[in-house]
Amino acid sequence: MSDDGDLSALVWGFLGISLLSVGGGVAALPEMHRLMVETHGWMDELAFSKRYALAQAAPGPNVMVVGLFGWHVAGITGMFAAMLAMCGPTSILAYGFCRLRGRLSGALGMRVFERGMVPIAVGLIAASGLLLAQGAAEAPLAVAISVGSTLFVWRSKRSPLWVLAAGAVLGAVFLR
Amino acid sequence: MPPSNRELFLTYLQIGLTSFGGVNAWARHMLVEKRGWLTEQEYAETLGIGQVLPGPNALNTAIGVGVRFGGAMGALACALGLFAGPMALLAGIAALYDAYGQLPLVRATLTGIAAAAAGMVLGTAIKMGVKLKPTLPLLAVGVAALALALLRAPLPFVVLGLAPFGLAAAWWAFRQGGGRP
């Protein structure tokens, strides 16, 4: 599965995604789904949702899931290559921006920009949730877990780790 | 007394290794409450910029914190600290998954977690949307982004195509709100 063609497709894919990932890693998941599942067929959609689950169950930034996608395509090399492609260019951009920040913070243009872009990010995050749920929906109970977890996270202030733990137990007992 | 680069690295190493379920809440707790390096307002501003810039929010925010205290080296210290722990852990997890991922019990457990994690993303989006209290045009932009992404429109098309509408809606909301965006 891991030849040079795959590795370069992986790197170019995540480079392209990273520079437009307004709203962070989760908002870019639909585009990652296109890259991993639809364009290259590197994994099916259940595998895609499970990689996201693995990354969520471990500590660290949400974007770590990109490392798991990279690992799947080209092992440890793929993991580092995908993470670097996803994080390198945007880090340089963030660095440059933060150096200028003193002059820009609180500026009107900045606030309008933020307010105008955030709804797009939220819409993309919602789409990510629906795509992930579709991928995991291999049984009615899985759909019920997704719905319950949505309501819990929306309505409650408790740590979302509770829903991951509940999902793990329900899955282990009933989805075998 | 501003933190040294070594302290920045060690603090972000700790944040990276403890931040289950997303980094931002843990980073705030550590930087504002435990270390007292940033005020609540300073952290919120740094996070806000990290979220608007493309790329991982948590990483952009870490870079902002690093630049503030230690320039380029500070930014590097925070970024490396944030990723060192999770990368090592994840390599282990990926190897374990390759070896045991198809065992029925592991498969079933992960499907359960995957379903829950999906709901977590969706619930977070709803929470954010409600908290924003968007005006009608801003809400329309958000719904359009959701619909286009579900119709599998490519990301550049969604982001660049909707950005002018988002900015216009934000500008309009600003004008309506009498100067407070």
Supply A139's token pair. 């049984």
Classify residue A44: in a domain, yes or no: yes
pLDDT of residue B181: 44
**Crossing angle of the two packed helices B155-176 and A108-136, in degrees rounded to 10:** 130
In this complex, which of A23, A64, A168 lies closest to B86 when CB atoms are compared? A64
**Cross-chain Cβ contact A125/B124 below 8 Å:** yes
- In chain A, the number of structural domains is 1
Q: What is the ipTM of this complex?
A: 0.84
- Neighbour tally for B40: CB within 10 Å: 10
Give, as one character, the DSSP assignment of residue A152: H
Of residues A1 and B110, which shows the higher confidence score? B110
CA gap B178, A152 in Å, rounded: 36
User: Can you state the angle between helices A108-136 and B40-52, rounded to 10 degrees?
Assistant: 70
CB atoms within 10 A of CB A51: 26
Of B23, B112, B162, the CB nearest to A175: B112
What sign for the dihedral angle of Cα A123, B63, A84, A54? negative
Strand, coil or helix: what is A138? coil
Alpha-helix residue ranges (DSSP H) falling in A3-63: 4-19, 24-27, 29-33, 45-57
The number of CA neighbours under 13 Å toward the Cβ of A63 is 30
Q: What is the DSSP string of A59-92?
A: SS-TTHHHHHHHHHHHHHHHHHHHHHHHHHHHHH
Q: How far apart are the C-alpha atoms of A99 and B68, rounded to whole Å? A: 8
The separation between the first and the last C-alpha atoms of chain B, rounded to the nearest angstrom, is 35
For residue A99, give its domain range: 4-136
Mutate to test the interface with A, among B69, B90, B93 (most CBs of A within 10 A): B90
Residue A156 resides in a domain: no
First-last CA distance in chain A: 29
| Neighbouring C-beta atoms of residue B74, cutoff 10 Å | 23
Give the pLDDT of residue B95: 92
Does residue A25 sit within a domain?
yes
Chain A positions touching B101 (Cβ under 8 A) are 50
Q: What are the pLDDT digits (tens) for A66-108? A: 999 999 999 999 999 999 999 999 999 999 988 886 566 567 7
Please report the pLDDT score of residue A102 as a whole number: 59
Q: What integer best gives the mean pLDDT of chain B?
A: 89
Contact B110 A50 (CB under 8 A): yes
Q: What is the pLDDT of residue A54?
A: 87
Contacts (Cβ under 8 Å, ≥6 apart) of A83? A63, A64, A66, A67, A70, B83, B87
User: Can you list the residues of chain B whose pLDDT is less than 70?
Assistant: 21, 178-181
C-alpha to C-alpha distances, A117 to A98, A126, A141, B46, B160, nearest whole angstrom: 19, 15, 35, 17, 10
Whether residue A88 lies inside any domain: the answer is: yes
Domain membership of residue A68 (yes or no) is: yes
What distances in angstroms separate CA A59 from CA A55, A86, A117, A118, B134, one per listed residue? 8, 18, 28, 25, 32
Indicate whether A19 belongs to any domain: yes
**CB contact at 8 A, A124 and A27:** yes
User: Within an 8 Å CB–CB cutoff, is residue B161 touching chain A?
Assistant: no
Nearest to A132 by CA among A22, A19, A20, A52: A52
Check: CB of residue B173 under 8 Å from CB of residue A37.
no
CB contact under 8 A, B122 and A114: no
3-class secondary structure, B22: coil
Note which residues in 152-171 of chain A have CB less than 8 A from chain B: 152-154, 159-161, 163-164, 166-171
pLDDT digits 0-9 by tens, A18-73: 988 887 788 899 999 999 999 999 999 999 998 988 888 888 898 999 999 999 99
The answer to whether position A60 is within a domain reads: yes
| CB count in 10 Å sphere of residue B177 | 10
Residue A130 in this model has a pLDDT that exceeds 50: yes
Is residue A125 domain-resident?
yes
Residue A151 has pLDDT above 70, yes or no: yes
Backbone angles phi, psi at B74, to 5 degrees: -65, -45
